[in-house]
Amino acid sequence: MVEIKRTPETRRQKIADRFAEQMARKEALRLRGLRHKGETVWFGLGMFGIVGWAVAIPSLVGVALGLWIDRTWPSQYSWALMFLIAGVIVGCINAAYWVKKVRSKIIEDDDE
């Protein structure tokens, strides 16, 4: 006859604890999803738009200012390139600000 081996009680308890933790995480994720129900794909696309425009506008302004300076006061340096780089840096800082602001709002909503 085949002998059935039983798992030790401590192992069974660890398995039960791990299962309970997984279910708690899934339930927390489900509740978080219910709180952020209005944030659909359009919210994410809007966020991409904000970040994109936050970088694009300062870059374009920098290029326009640099081209104007290059035409008005010619020099051996390309002001358009320098202001493009400065615009991208300012835009990245601006985008980071917007992402941080939205992220802190989401975290604040989750803490409630």
Is the sign of the CA dihedral 63, 66, 68, 74 positive or negative?
A: negative
Distance CA 89, CA 83 (A): 10
pLDDT at residue 12, rounded to an integer? 82
CB 94 within 8 A of CB 56: no
Is the model more confident about 2 or about 73?
73
Would you state the pLDDT for residue 106?
A: 75
In the numeric block, which tokens belong to residue 97? 């600000």
Q: Which domain holds residue 91?
A: 39-111
31 inside domain = no
* pLDDT at position 36: 67
Give the lowest-confidence range in 16-20, 32-36, 69-73.
32-36
Whole-angstrom Cα distance, residue 67 to residue 82?
Answer: 10
22 part of a folded domain:
no
CA 67 vs. chain centroid, Å, equals 33
Give the number of domains in the chain: 1
Specify the higher pLDDT residue, 25 or 33.
25
